[in-house]
Structure 1
Amino acid sequence: MTFLVLTQTLSYTKTAEQLYISQPAVTQQIQRLEEKLDLKLVHYHRPNLKITQAGEELADFLQRTSVQAKQVLERIQTPDKFQEINFSTTRSLSVFLAPKLIKEVAAQKAFRKISCHVGNTEQALAKVRNGESQFALVEGNFNKNKFGYKIISSEPFVAVAAPDHPLAQFKSLTWSDLVKTPLLVRERGSGSREILASLARAENVSLADFEHMIVISEPLLIRQLLLEGVGVSFLYRSLVEKQLQQRQLVELPMRDNGQTAHDLYIVYAKDSYFKKDYEKWADVLR
């Protein structure tokens, strides 16, 4: 427990405060653990504390097992209760993928409670890691060595603008053509932003090259601003499918990798006891 808290706070003082023990007691517990395991878990050169690779792997294992042990125990202790579904989703997927799952779960009428937490990719994964969510619906990049996952589908990620936007009149565009136009982009920690930044880097462009960047955490607000002619953005096509069909928005004709498909995932704790349950929901969403 002490070591897990230390990996989160990266501070002997804050760990002691959180556990209501003295700082020397924290130091002694960590030293005894290192001696018992014959592993170096922490590098500490005042004021910097760093968890070693071995320490990171141990913390990850301890976190996973403690979370899963709690979940298994809850299921064993309350076998007669209706099951509960508790999951997280990114903001983009909350618009078109999470509703599909909730509708399917609700139709079964076998679950007493459905809880859905909406945030960015980083926040969704954190909730899976600490056991607040059973699984998460995410897009973008994540450390696949630290989670169990299954691909749900591949979704086109497209450049979008209003039909009367000057760039919509071009037959072909490069990333360099975009940099003088206001770019609507998600916040740091968002999978969509990471995908966008990766696409730009592949064409030797960074987000810092854009002269005007508008950072917005809510994808529906980005869509609304696009409808009002404010700049350009990159979104999953499902987010703007209706608007594209009605010609309220148009896909920009990016020449290179501006229109690519990206995998959407259901992510859960690595080696989860409930893996088959989560993969069942992935199959429902296909």
Structure 2
Amino acid sequence: MDIRLQSFLKVWELKSFTKAAQNLNLTQPAVSQHIKSLEKEYNSRFLNYKGKDLILTDSGKILLEYANKIKLSEIFFIENIKQSSSKIKSIKFGATLTIGEFTLESILFEMFRNFDNYNLEIYVENTKKNLEMLEKGEIHFSLVEGLFDKTKYYFKVLKNEKFILTVSKDHNLATKSNIRIEDILNETLIIREKGSGSREILERALVDKNFNLKNFSQKIEISNVNLIKSLVKSNLGISFMYKDAAKKEIDAGELIEVKVEDFTIEKEFNFIYMDDELYIKELIYFYEFLKQNMIT
């Protein structure tokens, strides 16, 4: 990768010429010269200061997208070279919490059996972390249940999933056939952490109905879905979650799905990847397997 592009990426990442130079083991004048050389070659300004803040120009945004693609291609190229003499390739992928902990559970055995010629590494993180890992080339693809910028990534829909309100079988709402949002505002709402796709989906759905999380009298924030379900089962609060996450408990009668009037939420589970020609064959194989085996 062109050292000038490396300097540009590092300056933008650290928002500082001095810190970029230190990180790259270069002098600050050298890093500044790299940026000037790029700007001279393309006859365009890429970085400006707005007060003390470093900002990208419109041309800088284009260069950033281009440089990131080159960087990602280089990461996968080096990885491919290292694996070229091995019969077994490594595939790393991420999954958001509902998919990673619940949706994949029933198909993991079949996945390992079908892809026994690959070393598989699976990372279960929230949506924000998954997308960060994808952009850095730390994973080859990601299975995401949350919202994301569809202009930044390649993606294929795996399935549509209902996002439901769950309560304990002992909760007074468990026997209600239909309720309104106003009927649950005095309840203790158990929600996921910031950065979670599930939380963002709930927040947006509430805003669409002119409500927000502040309208609830009490909130508990937890990053672990199993712990959330335990609290709900113990009747310590109510929670919105994907139906996949609550399926076992609903089937066992431990959790009850409560219909909320005019508040039906259904979202996509997506297979997300970057522009990666070196692994496109593997990406297609994995997508087709997941699409076929995920319960709709």
TM over 0.5: yes
Match of 1:59 in 2: 64
Shift of the alpha carbon at 1:231? 1.1
Residue in 1 aligned with 2:3? none
1:111 aligns with 2:117: yes
- Residue 152 of structure 1 corresponds to 158
Does residue 280 of the first structure (1) align with residue 280 of the second (2)?
no
Aligned length: 285
The SS at the match of 2:173 is helix
Equivalents in 1 of 2:208, 2:115: separation in Å?
A: 47
Task: Indicate yes or no: 2:153 matched with 1:127.
Answer: no
2:17 equivalent to 1:23: no
User: Structure 2: where are the runs of 5+ without partners?
Assistant: 1-5, 292-296
How much is the aligned-residue C-alpha RMSD, in angstroms? 2.0
Separation in 2, partners of 1:272, 1:222: 40
How far apart, CA to CA, are the structure 2 residues paired with 1:168 and 1:34? 64
Over residues 209-235 of structure 1, what are the superposed CA-to-partner deviations in whole Å (9 max), with x where a residue is unaligned?
Answer: 222111111111111111111211111
Do the aligned partners of residues 52 and 184 (structure 1) sit closer, same or farther apart at CA in structure 2, a change above 3 Å counting?
Answer: farther
Q: Which residue in the other structure is 1:188 paired with?
A: 194
Moved more, 28-37 or 117-126: 28-37
CA contact (8 A) 1:135 1:266 kept: yes
Distance 1:209 1:24, change over 3 A: farther
Q: Which residue of 2 aligns with 1:221?
A: 227
State the AA in 1 paired with 2:143. L
| TM-score computed with the length of structure 2 as normaliser | 0.89
Which amino acid is 1:107 matched to? R
State the 1:254 CA deviation.
0.2
Long gaps (5+) in structure 1: none
**CA distance, structure 1, for counterparts of residue 211 and residue 46 of structure 2:** 39
**1:177 maps to which residue?**
183
Shift of 1:272: 4.3
Q: How far apart, CA to CA, are the structure 2 residues paired with 1:176 and 1:19?
A: 56
One-letter amino acid of the counterpart of residue 27, structure 1: S
Q: Distance in 2 between matches of 1:65 and 1:98?
A: 32
2:83–2:89 Cα contact (<8 Å) kept: no
* TM-score, scaled relative to structure 1: 0.92
Give the whole-Å Cα distance in 1 for the aligned partners of 2:232 and 2:260. 17
Find the counterpart in structure 2 of residue 69 from structure 1. 74
Rounded to whole Å, the distance in 2 between the matches of 1:191 and 1:121 is 5
Closer, same or farther in 2 for the Cα pair 1:48/1:164, shift >3 Å?
A: same
CA–CA separation in structure 1 for the residues paired with 2:196 and 2:39: 36
Deviation at 1:261, TM superposition (A): 1.7
Aligned pair in 2 of structure 1 residues 44, 100: CA closer, same or farther (>3 Å)? farther
Secondary structure, counterpart of 1:167 in structure 2: coil
1:161 aligns with 2:167: yes
Are the counterparts in 1 of residues 96 and 124 from structure 2 also a CA contact under 8 Å?
Answer: yes
- Is the CA contact (8 Å cut-off) linking 1:88 and 1:117 kept in structure 2? yes
Is the Cα–Cα contact under 8 Å of residues 120 and 191 in structure 1 kept in the other structure? yes
How does 1:79-90 map onto structure 2 within 5 Å?
79-81=84-86, 82-90=88-96
Q: Which runs of 4+ in 1 moved over 4 A?
A: none
Deviation at 1:89, TM superposition (A): 1.0
How far apart, in 2, do the equivalents of 1:262 and 1:20 lie?
46
- State, as a whole percentage, how many aligned pairs show the same letter: 28
Moved more, 55-64 or 217-226: 55-64
Q: Which amino acid aligns with 2:287?
A: A
